[in-house]
Amino acid sequence: MNDSAQTFQAPRVLVFDSGVGGLSVAREIQQRLPQVSLVYASDNAFFPYGTKGEAELIARVDQVITALLARSPADILVIACNTASTLTLPHLRSKLNLPIVGVVPAIKPATLMSKSGVIGLLATPATVARPYTHELIREYATNCQVISLGSSALVQIAEQKLRGEAIDITVIGTITQALMNTENAEKMDVLVLACTHFPLLKEELAQLLPARLTLIDSGAAIARRVEFLLADCAEASADYVPEHLAVFTKATAEAAQLAPALTRFNIYQQAYLNI
Ligand code: DGL
């Protein structure tokens, strides 16, 4: 090993979500930037975010991110959660001195992709109701109809799936059916998965939804943005293998159960903040 290899510090990206959803974003970052070192953080103690009040969520995200950065300094912070990003980004950006990438509903790409002018938005109830989301729709979906549906059940099902538990496809079916029973849904041709948990259920959703629907999310765009922001960081040698870590805010049996799923994201170590 030469000197530069010994002293090399891989760019560090902190990817944060309420639970496992942000892994759908971490996967895109790993694919695009295989030599970046990831800390994947799950606020499992306060999960789920989609049912929490705004003031308590802003305070909680502030508390957890502050503790995470104190424990694991990062070059970039990715808020891999639509529910948190659509609410907390201005506060975090005013407070923290590092680049922050937020994940917000992919309304703009969906409207550019849609031929029928009818798009769907599947998110947590909180994201569907956020003024930020309404503003995105007003700004980018001027010539489109947006059919929105909020679901907390899908978030829970994605968590079960990653814990290796059996999931009930009929429950997912009632949600897709509710979406497709909405007026004009027969014209919908693009569906925005605006909760980072939902790409983890993409196969199940695709099975249940009409084949004409294109399912999109923000993961790949986030990875491109991270790449852009890391352009000035040192590059690793070709054989460098980064180490990744999962940090949970609470040590629970459910968190331990995620270990096999985490290895599919090359994450072999877990730590706990207990906050
Ligand atoms: N994964 C999160 C999102 O993108 C939210 C899930 C939750 O309700 O905690 O919105």
Q: What is the pLDDT of residues 189-244, one digit of tens each?
A: 999 999 999 999 999 999 999 999 999 999 999 999 999 999 877 676 777 788 99
* Binding site membership of 50 for ligand 1 (Cβ less than 6 Å): yes
* Binding site membership of 151 for ligand 1 (Cβ less than 6 Å): no
Looking at residue 6, what is its pLDDT?
46
* Residue whose CB lies within 8 A of the most ligand 1 atoms, among 82, 122, 132, for a mutation test: 82
Choose the catalytic residue: 38, 77, 81, 223. Answer: 81
The predicted-structure confidence for 141-165, as pLDDT tens digits, reads as follows 999 999 999 999 999 999 999 999 9
Closest CA to 74 of 93, 104, 100: 100
Q: Are the beta carbons of 267 and 40 closer than 8 angstroms?
A: yes
Dmax over CA atoms of the chain, in Å, equals: 65
Q: Report the chain's terminal Cα–Cα distance, integer Å.
A: 40
* Binding site membership of 82 for ligand 1 (Cβ less than 6 Å): yes
269, two tokens: 């170590």
The reported pTM is: 0.95
**Reported confidence tier of residue 5, pLDDT bands at 50, 70, 90:** very low
Looking at residue 1, what is its pLDDT?
40
- Active site annotation includes 195: yes
* Binding site membership of 17 for ligand 1 (Cβ less than 6 Å): yes
How far, in Å, from the CA of 238 to the mean position of ligand 1? 35
Looking at residue 234, what is its pLDDT?
65
Looking at residue 231, what is its pLDDT?
87
The predicted-structure confidence for 28-68, as pLDDT tens digits, reads as follows 999 999 989 999 999 999 999 999 999 999 999 999 999 99
**Reported confidence tier of residue 84, pLDDT bands at 50, 70, 90:** very high
Choose the catalytic residue: 195, 208, 216, 247. Answer: 195
- Active site annotation includes 144: no
Which distant-in-sequence residues (6+ apart) come within 8 Å of 47 by Cβ?
18, 19, 159
The phi and psi torsions of 78 (rounded to 5 degrees) equal -110, 115
Looking at residue 4, what is its pLDDT?
45
